[in-house]
Structure 1
Amino acid sequence: MILTDKRILLIISGGIAAYKSLDLVRRLRERGAVVIPIMTKAAEEFVTLLAVGALAAHKVHTDLFSRDDEVDVGHIRLARDCDLVLVAPATADLMAKMANGLANDLASTVLLATERPVLMAPAMNPKMWSNPAVSRNASQLLIDGVHFVGPMRGEMAEGGEAGTGRMAEPLDIVAEVEALLDTAPKPLAGKRAIVTSGPTHEPIDPVRYIANRSSGTQGHAIAAALVKSGADVTLVSGPVTLADPRGVKVIHVERAEEMRDAVLASLPADIAVMVAAVADWRVATRSDEKIKKSADGSVPSLEFTENPDILKTVGHHEKRPKLVIGFAAETNDVETNATAKLNRKGADLIVANDVSPETGIMGGKRNRVAIISRDSVDRWPDLSKDEVADRLVTLIAEKLAGA
C-alpha cells in the first residue's frame, strides 16, 4: 500500500468543510498513513481537538508558541518530519498567507518552512473562489509548485447557493495523496490505452431496453490499474453506477454502436482492453412510443439485428493497437469458447471467466479467470477484481516490453 507508514501533516483550517477532515483522517489511516494534525484557531470553531486527536491517534498541534513543542523548534520539526503536507480545507485566508509569504500562526509558519510536497484542497464560497485576489493567489501557488485537488462544483453550506467551491471528497483527496507519494515504477509511461467497461443498453422503446448484469467493476479496475502504471487511458463506459476512475478520460455511452464509435475515435493506441459486456443484438426497429399491451393478450413480435463486434473491429483495424485483449464471459465450455473467440476476433489474449449462475461472478466483486493465448492457457486463482486488474496490467507491461 502506497501510504503505509507515510507521515501526512494535515493542516485543518477554519471552514465548514472541516467536518470532512474527520473522515479524511480515517481514510488516510485505514491505508496505513500516520496523520499528524495541525489546527488553526478558526478550525476549532468547526471541529473539536478531541475528535481530531481521537481519530488521528496523535497529538493535535495548534500553538506556534507552545512551551513544550518549541523547546526543539517544533514548527521546523513538524515541517520536515513528514512526507507530505496536506491542507484540507484550505481557506482563502491560508492560501493568501502562503502565496504572499506571511507566517503569523503555526499552520502558515509550517507551510513556509516545509520542503515537502504541499497539497491543498480549497473550500470556500463560489464568489470567494472566483474573486480575482483568490485567483491570483492560487496561480502563484501553482507557480511555486503547490498541488491542488478541487474545489468541486455543488451546493454550498449557505442555503440556496451552488457553484465551484466545495472541498473535494475525502477519497478523491486520498487518491491525490497516493499519486503524489507513489514512487513505484511506471512501466507503461508514454503508452496509450483504450478500455471498455460495463454493459450496453439497447432500447426497445422509450422505457425498455435489452441489457445484462455487468457492473463494470472489472473494466473500471483495469482502467485505474493502467493509470497507476503510467498509461494515458481512455475508458469507454456503458451505463454503470460506479464513479469515474481518477486520472482517466471517460466517455459515457449507452448503445453498442455508440461504444464502437467512441473506441474507433480513440485510436490510435498501444493497448486495447475490451472488457465491456456488449449486447450481441438490438431491436431492428425500436418504437418511439411505449409498446402497450394488446386487448386480446397477444405478445408483440420483436425483430432483432446483430450489433457491431467491437473487439473484432479493433482486432482487424488498420490502426490496430500493438496489444489487443478481449474478455469472454462464458457459461459452458469456457476455455474452448474463449480460444475460438481469440482466433475469430484477431485478439492477442482473451481473459476467460465462467459466469454461469452458480459461480456468482457476473456483477460480483471477485473473478476467476484464465488467460488464453495462441500457445498457452494460464489459469489464475480466485482473486478480487482489483487483483485481477493489477496482474493483467503487469502482464500487459511484460508483453509490450518483449514486443
Structure 2
Amino acid sequence: MKRLFPVLFLCLLPLSVAAQSIATSIGTISVEKLAGELKDPWAVAILPKGQFLISEKRGVLLLFDQTGERRRVSGVPKVVSKGQGGLLDVVAARDFATTGTIFMTFAKNQARGVGTTMVSATLDTNRAKLSNVKTLFEMQQGTVGGRHFGSRVVEGRDGFLYVTVGERGDRPSAQDLNTHNGSVVRVARDGRVPASNPFVSTPNAQPEIWSFGHRNPQGAALDSAGLLWVAEHGAKGGDEVNRVKKGANFGWPVISYGEHYSGRKIGEGTSKSGMEQPNFYWDPSIAPSGLMIYSGKMFAEWEGDFFIGSLKFDHIARLDRAGNRLRSGEQIKSRETARVRDVREAPDGSIWFLSVDRRGLFRISR
C-alpha cells in the first residue's frame, strides 16, 4: 500500500519537498503538494477529519486519510474511459458527516452510445468501500464518440442536485429539449424530477432540464447567495462563464463569441433575442475546467472572486466580480499549475487544485 507525505487537514505539516512561491496581486503565496503520482485526475472532494477523495478518469476512486495513506475505493460503477469520458466528478453531500453520501458522474455505456450518468453512493471510509449505489440521472440518449460530457455536480441550497451535461459533439442537440445534450439538469437526491422544473409540462421535453443551449460546461459552483454559475468550453474562442437561470437558453450553437476550428462562423452571430449573453468570455480560449467561487476566509482580498482552471494555458484564472459583472483579474501560474482540472476551497480557506500534467493535488495558502 502506497504511503504519501503526512497531511493534516487544517494544519498541514511541512512536506519534504519545499513549497513553491507564486507572486500574485496580493503578494507572495505558497503552493505545496498534497498528493502525487495520480493518473489523469478529474475531481477532488474534501471530506471531514482530514480525508479527501480523488477521481481518476480511468475509473479509479482514491481515498486519502489524515496520515497521507491512499486506498483504492471498491464498489465504483463500471465506467467508459474514452476520449473526455470516464470517471469524472465526485462530490461529498452536504450531510456527508452523518450519511456518508457522495455523488459521482461518469461516462456509461448505453444501448446507442455513451452518456453522462450520476449516481449516489454511501462511502465507508473505514473499509474504503461504496455501497447503496443508485442511479439518479442518466442522459437520454447518449451518443457515439468521446467528446463533451460536461459532468460537474452541485448540491443547491434548495436541496436539489444540478448536473452539467455537454452536447456530446452533436451541436444542434443543445437546442433540442427532447435530449439532455447541452443542458444543466436538476433532480432530487432520490432521482425524482422536481415539479418546479421549467419543462415538466412541455410536450416531448426532458423534464430534468433546468437550462439548455450549453456546449460543454466542465465547471460549476454556487456563489455566497446560492446562485449557480458554470464555466463552459467554447470552440475556437468563446469560452464562457454563465449564471444559470431557470428555463434559460444559453445559445449554443446559434450564438457564440468564438468560431469553428476551421475558421468558419458559428451560427448567427453573437446575440439573438431569447438567448442569454455570457457574463464573461475568453478569446482566445483557455479551455476552462473546475470553477470555485471564493469565500475570502484565508485571502480576504479575493472574497467573491471566481477561480477557474485552464487546461490550455496552465494557470488558474481569477476573475473579479462586481454584482453579476465579471472581469479578468489575474493569472495564478507556476510550474504546478500545468493543465489544472479542478479547483476547490478547503474549510480553512486554502485553495486546492488538481494538475493533470503534474499528476498531483496542490494547496495554495498564505
TM-score strictly above 0.5:
no
Bigger radius of gyration: 1
| More helix as a share of residues | 1
Higher relative contact order (CA 8 A, sep 6+): 2
State the TM-score, normalizing by the size of structure 1: 0.25
